Amino acid sequence: MISQVSAFLENKPGRLEMVLQILSDNEINLRSISVAETTDYGIFRLILDRPKEAVEKLKAANFVVKETDVLAIEIDDTKGALLYSIKELAENDISIEYTYTCLPIDNEKVVIILRVDEMERAQKILESSKNCRLLAPEDMQ
């Protein structure tokens, strides 16, 4: 499992810039960003090379942040590749809460971030999968 940092930001100009500036000032590398929007605020989901430090720095700047475990899988960059990994989870009654892409580690692969309802079971299934490679925190650095 890897750590995802979620920052809850008001829908105001410059709020995302402030978060990115804090990350940049502390040389924290952004690997992926996903935004879920509501009327009043956005939830920015971030995959970072140093998530614990990012949480500390963002909280110190009065941002509301949360760290969540997610799974990162590496799949071939071919048609249908994601289907096979998702199918394995579905066949084991594991529900996907959300998913998004991440910067690739290798240009011939795609990295997918998954948040599922049963993280431990999903991790075991994906560890033994022939359709993907489950990534570790050190792979995201």
Domain that holds residue 49: 2-68
Residue 140 lies in a domain: no
7 close to 57: Cβ distance less than 8 angstroms: no
The CATH number given to whatever domain includes residue 9 is 3.30.2130.10
Q: Two tokens at 65?
A: 């942040």
CATH number at residue 128: 3.30.70.260
61 and 76 housed in the same domain: no
* pLDDT tens per residue across span 86-99: 999 999 999 999 99
Note the pLDDT tens digit of each residue in 66-112.
Answer: 999 999 999 999 999 999 999 999 999 999 999 999 987 777 789 99
